[in-house]
Amino acid sequence: MITEDKKEEKSLNFIEEIVEADLQSGKYTQIVTRFPPEPNGYLHIGHASSICLNFGLTKKFPGYTNLRFDDTNPVTEDTEYVESIKRDIRWMGFEWKHELYASDYFDTLYDFAVSLIQRGLAYVDDSTSEEIAALKGTPTEPGKDSPYRDRSVEENLVLFEQMRNGDFPDGSRTLRAKIDMAHINMLMRDPILYRIKHAKHHRTGEKWCIYPMYDFAHGQSDSIETVTHSICTLEFAPHRELYDWLIAQLNIYPSHQYEFARRNLNYTVTSKRKLLQLVQEKHVSGWDDPRMPTISGLRRRGFTPESIRDFCDRIGVARRENMIDVGLLEFCVREDLNKKALRRMVVLDPLKVIITNFPEGETEMCHSENNPEDVSTGNREIPFTREIYIEKEDFMETPSKKYFRLAPGKMVRLKGAYIIQCDDFVKDENGEVTEVHCSYVENSKSGHDTTGIHVKGTLHWVSAAHAVKAEIRLYDRLFSVEDVSSEEGDFKDYINPESLHVITGYAEPALLDAEEGQSFQFLRKGYFVKDSDSQPGALVFNRTVTLRDNWAKAAEK
């Protein structure tokens, strides 16, 4: 799937082809797109695809992109979401031309509805939603006309105004388009345009107690904004006929709708409704929990805007729904951070090593490059002392043949410092190695090595006296099954109970200067980012990704 899409990436995707043709034919001289989130949750990785597509089009072709909040549902929407959406789009590297709200068009939409009523194209229906559903028919059977369908224009105008004035309770009446109850497209069987909802709206307050339905707001908002290419996801394909019908009947600017496939990521859910449940029921710490597939969660986890844009480019734009491997997203962030992240040494599971021939109480400064991929970042100082920590897994009492790390009698290089040789080790009563005794080789210091000794293994390490303790949060997939929505029962039954491990790491002192949100490569351990929970003297790091794809390796076995 990914390879197929990669081909599309090099040439134009199918929506870009449509736009290019429209510009070449002179149909448009510039295009207008919009990103239309409903402010009822935080943006997730699926939205990132839509953002890259909509904003990407007007970067590539003449025109601009608006941000339009599709805020026609007063109950679930909130200003907190509006702010988070704006922050996330800007963080992704995009800027909109106009910030717009569907709710700003409530007066215009009301007038549109009145004009439909006046021309006999809409009517007030007193049926309950059950009664409406009962007459709707099925895909193979036509529906039946509502008993209220033939009300006079005058009566409809009065009733609709009363609806607006708050004379009726919720759910007691609707305004419906008068199209065709036998239409093969079920959405054309007199769709509901307005419903009564006595609820406070986050922007219009108590002004309205009737709210337009999606179908009677979206296309009309597009038209008011002269959107040329209105891009949405595939599930809206059957709505296109109604979209076109309403625009034609109202005789307003002819925006056109195009559909592309939703993007789903494995081992997670991309539905705001489900993500909201995870937050409300405290399965995660919030919308920006680093395990969440939200843009704010990915940011806190250490993903970069570049890596997310690269991911969206690579998966491209498809006409069929498919599941994208989260491994691709991780690949993209490794690619990006490899170029940018400063290298640091942090021991996650310490074993003490005593360099017996190094004087007690003495500190020698070693140097190592901040990032070998970017020499402009220079070197940093690393203190070397008699007692250091290495990873437990970097010592083996009886090594296998291919083990090039530390073992009795064996030599390794300490990154940026000396070659050491293991002379002895100490075990506790459980047989666990608690201390390793080594001697360093004189004249073997990195960059000044005149010994000619060749060692195969290089280990990361920290001086025990200088080590800074840091809380390290190790994350795994939030769900333990690949395709969460295809599983039976409650999706929350599939939450991975092992998705967070908190350990204490021993960091080299240079990490005391880390800034919040700054990413590092912890040598041999992965990419990590300084978390916002950090306090002066209490560092917290999130692991963004390991250096290699452990999941792919596990799958091969």
Binding site for ligand ATP (CB under 6 A): 36-38, 46-47, 49-50, 70, 232-233, 262-263, 270-272
Residue 40 found at the interface with Mg ion (CB under 5 A): no
Candidate ranges 31-39, 175-183, 348-356, 473-481; the one touching Mg ion (CB under 5 A): 31-39
Residue 349 found at the interface with Mg ion (CB under 5 A): no
- To the nearest whole angstrom, how small is the minimum distance from the Cβ of residue 40 to Mg ion? 8
**Shorter beta-carbon distance to Mg ion: residue 76 or 108:** 76
Calpha distance 314→331 (Å, rounded): 11
Dihedral of CA 190/191/192/193: which sign? Answer: negative
**Shorter beta-carbon distance to ligand ATP: residue 50 or 439:** 50
Query: With CB cut-offs between 5 and 8 Å by kind, which of Mg ion, ligand ATP, none does residue 88 bind?
Result: none
Q: How far is CA 109 from CA 117, 159, 217, 272, in A?
A: 12, 17, 7, 27
- To the nearest whole angstrom, how small is the minimum distance from the Cβ of residue 544 to ligand ATP? 22
Calpha distance 208→420 (Å, rounded): 77
321 is in an annotated binding site: no
Instruction: Point out the residue whose Cβ comes nearest to ligand ATP.
Output: 46
Query: With CB cut-offs between 5 and 8 Å by kind, which of ligand ATP, Mg ion, none does residue 301 bind?
Result: none
- Positions marked catalytic: 38, 262, 272
Q: What are phi and psi of 32, to 5 degrees?
A: -125, 125
Contacts 24+ apart (CB under 8 A), 106-115: 106/204, 106/207, 106/208, 106/212, 108/220, 108/224, 109/212, 109/216, 109/217, 109/220, 110/164, 112/216, 112/220, 112/250, 112/252, 113/160, 113/175, 113/193, 113/194, 113/212, 113/216, 114/157, 114/160, 115/250
233 is in an annotated binding site: yes
88: Cα separation from own chain's centroid: 10
Query: With CB cut-offs between 5 and 8 Å by kind, which of Mg ion, ligand ATP, none does residue 271 bind?
Result: ligand ATP
Contacts 24+ apart (CB under 8 A), 109-116: 109/212, 109/216, 109/217, 109/220, 110/164, 112/216, 112/220, 112/250, 112/252, 113/160, 113/175, 113/193, 113/194, 113/212, 113/216, 114/157, 114/160, 115/250, 116/177, 116/193, 116/249, 116/250
Q: Residue 9 in contact with residue 316, Cβ under 8 Å?
A: yes
- To the nearest whole angstrom, how small is the minimum distance from the Cβ of residue 72 to Mg ion? 10
Q: Nearest-CA neighbor of 185 among 112, 243, 249?
A: 243
Dihedral of CA 46/47/48/49: which sign? Answer: positive
Query: With CB cut-offs between 5 and 8 Å by kind, which of ligand ATP, Mg ion, none does residue 263 bind?
Result: ligand ATP
Residues 139-168 that bind Mg ion (CB under 5 A): none
Query: With CB cut-offs between 5 and 8 Å by kind, which of ligand ATP, Mg ion, none does residue 49 bind?
Result: ligand ATP
39 is in an annotated binding site: yes
Q: What are phi and psi of 457, to 5 degrees?
A: -105, 140
Query: With CB cut-offs between 5 and 8 Å by kind, which of ligand ATP, Mg ion, none does residue 437 bind?
Result: none
Query: With CB cut-offs between 5 and 8 Å by kind, which of Mg ion, ligand ATP, none does residue 219 bind?
Result: none
Q: Residue 318 in contact with residue 64, Cβ under 8 Å?
A: no
Residue 276 found at the interface with Mg ion (CB under 5 A): no
Query: With CB cut-offs between 5 and 8 Å by kind, which of ligand ATP, Mg ion, none does residue 444 bind?
Result: none
Q: Residue 477 in contact with residue 458, Cβ under 8 Å?
A: no
Q: Residue 156 in contact with residue 203, Cβ under 8 Å?
A: no
38 is in an annotated binding site: yes
**Shorter beta-carbon distance to ligand ATP: residue 49 or 463:** 49
**Shorter beta-carbon distance to ligand ATP: residue 440 or 479:** 479
- To the nearest whole angstrom, how small is the minimum distance from the Cβ of residue 429 to ligand ATP? 56
> Which two structure tokens, joined as six digits, stand for 397?
């009492």
Binds Mg ion by CB under 5 A, chosen from 5, 22, 38, 244 = 38
**Shorter beta-carbon distance to ligand ATP: residue 85 or 441:** 85
Instruction: Point out the residue whose Cβ comes nearest to Mg ion.
Output: 38
Q: What is the DSSP string of 21-48?
A: HHHHTTS-SSEEEEE---SSS--BHHHH
The C-alpha R_g of the chain, in whole angstroms, comes to 31
Q: Nearest-CA neighbor of 368 among 232, 510, 189, 500?
A: 510
Q: Which residues pair with 504 in a beta bridge?
A: 471
- To the nearest whole angstrom, how small is the minimum distance from the Cβ of residue 138 to ligand ATP? 26
- To the nearest whole angstrom, how small is the minimum distance from the Cβ of residue 386 to ligand ATP? 56
**Shorter beta-carbon distance to ligand ATP: residue 232 or 284:** 232
**Shorter beta-carbon distance to ligand ATP: residue 47 or 405:** 47
**Shorter beta-carbon distance to ligand ATP: residue 271 or 338:** 271
Candidate ranges 33-41, 61-69, 127-135, 350-358; the one touching Mg ion (CB under 5 A): 33-41
- To the nearest whole angstrom, how small is the minimum distance from the Cβ of residue 198 to ligand ATP? 24
Calpha distance 185→189 (Å, rounded): 7
Q: Residue 210 in contact with residue 196, Cβ under 8 Å?
A: yes
- To the nearest whole angstrom, how small is the minimum distance from the Cβ of residue 313 to Mg ion? 24
The residues that touch Mg ion, with contacts defined as CB under 5 A, are 38
Residues making up the binding site for ATP: 38-40, 233
Residues making up the binding site: 38-40, 70, 214, 233
